[in-house]
Amino acid sequence: MEATGTEEVDKLKTKFISAWNNMKYSWVLKTKTYFSRNSPVLLLGKCYHFKCEDENKLLHTRSGCTIEDHVIAGNVEEFRKDFISRIWLTYREEFPSIEGSALTTDCGWGCTLRTGQMLLAQGLILHFLGRAWTWPDALNIDNSDSESWTSHTVKKFTASFEASLSGERELKTPTISLKETIGRYSDDHEMQNEIYHRKIISWFGDSPLAVFGLHQLIKYGKKSGKKAGDWYGPAVVAHILRKAVEEARHPELQGITIYVAQDCTVYSSDVIDKQCASMAPDITDDKAVIILVPVRLGGERTNTDYLEFVKGILSLEYCVGIIGGKPKQSYYFAGFQDDSLIYMDPHYCQSFVDVSIKDFPLETFHCPSPKKMSFRKMDPSCTIGFYCRNVQDFKRVSEEITKMLKISSKEKYPLFTFVNGHSRDYDFTSTTTNEEDLFSEDEKRLKRFSTEEFVLL
């Protein structure tokens, strides 16, 4: 009887904390993000210029951005559409409970898993849709003002708290159906793109069946001693993503894999081996690969000497972003202007969306407003990602990035390196060959860096 009472107290405590976090991370007062007209804006390899001759006006875009002085409106809209088209994955509430816990929300602890999901989602967009793709409905996302946003949050918290205590779940009605969306497209290619768009988002749904959903990622994290409610660092998340892609059995995911650099080194032969490995004997094409490189941009603080290299990386179209952030928070970095990084923030709690239904709503998976942060505020621990479509593409990418590393490192040791051969050819102290052992070894190495972990809010 006493044990049962303790369990009930724990469940009530979990529900109360969840309700509090839902309020805490929903209370987002919108602030305008200012972009200069004098400097180009880079977003995952795409460059946008806002400069124009008329310097006496301000343009307030619907996205919450403010462009100083008058701009070429078309270019602003192109930037907005491109940014909003990136897949945004945030805290969610009231999803099916995570196995082994009573948690039905990741508020307060899942931010790095979410930024990792965003990076992988961008890799899948490049793989299935290409960098030129944008969501046709991107500019139709409604972006309410701060007052209504805050008012909505208060109502949402009240309902969420009551529902948490009673065990009920609020259902949300889809606003844009698949049939309505598909009906607006003019050709089969656009319709096919939209099907893939929805399919990619569905793979990140918050349910045990979603291949890259939070539930699956936490399951793979257990191999490194992590559990639901723990904080996950950028490097650990890189290995979790690798395992998730390797274990995915969806037929359309058999043509892509993930390689995680070891000790800031990318071993070319290991990458090519992964690209040429095939589970099916009739498949002869080499796989695409997402290369993830966990790095530190300094000691306790980020070294500004790395700024130009980070900007160079985000200027590449095959870059899939950076899992990083600042102390206390993880962000998904996707671009920059001058010395400020452009990012998507997962620290906003949204309601659970059932992606298994045919016409699930898409709006909450796309961020209406970009944010900027000074590079100096960036936490030094991060994971950089690149996408290579095939072996030939990987060789080209490794050559290009190697040149960038040599230029940026000057007389210092480069941030990471590409070397020929296999890792086993260079490893004289370890005989580790098993994938799970490799995961554990990397986890042990990461524990040496006590400053890697962000502080939980």
- Write the DSSP symbol of residue 90: -
Nearest Cα to 306, choosing from 317, 293, 318?
293
Spatial strand order of the sheet with 59-60 comes to: 33-35, 65-67, 59-60
For residues 353 and 254, give the distance between their C-alpha atoms in angstroms, rounded to a whole number: 26
> CB–CB of 21/349 below 8 Å?
yes
Interacting residues of 346 by C-beta distance below 8 A, sequence separation 6+: 88, 89, 90, 91, 110, 111, 114, 115, 118, 330, 331, 332
DSSP string, 227-271: -TTS---HHHHHHHHHHHHHH---GGGTTEEEEE-BTTEEEHHHH
Amino acid at 308: E
> CB–CB of 75/50 below 8 Å?
yes
Dihedral over Cα of 204, 209, 214, 219: its sign: negative
For residues 336 and 372, give the distance between their C-alpha atoms in angstroms, rounded to a whole number: 8
Amino acid at 94: E
- 111 as an active site residue: the answer is yes
For residues 336 and 242, give the distance between their C-alpha atoms in angstroms, rounded to a whole number: 27
Catalytic residue among 111, 319, 367, 388: 111
Beta strand 33-35 pairing with 65-67: parallel
> CB–CB of 71/37 below 8 Å?
yes
For residues 397 and 313, give the distance between their C-alpha atoms in angstroms, rounded to a whole number: 11
- The secondary element (H helix, E strand) that includes residue 404 is helix 391-409
Catalytic residue among 197, 347, 382, 388: 347
- 339 as an active site residue: the answer is no
- 347 as an active site residue: the answer is yes
Q: What length does the chain have?
A: 457
Nearest Cα to 259, choosing from 288, 216, 283, 284?
288
Catalytic residue among 206, 345, 379, 442: 345
Catalytic residues, by residue number, are 111, 345, 347
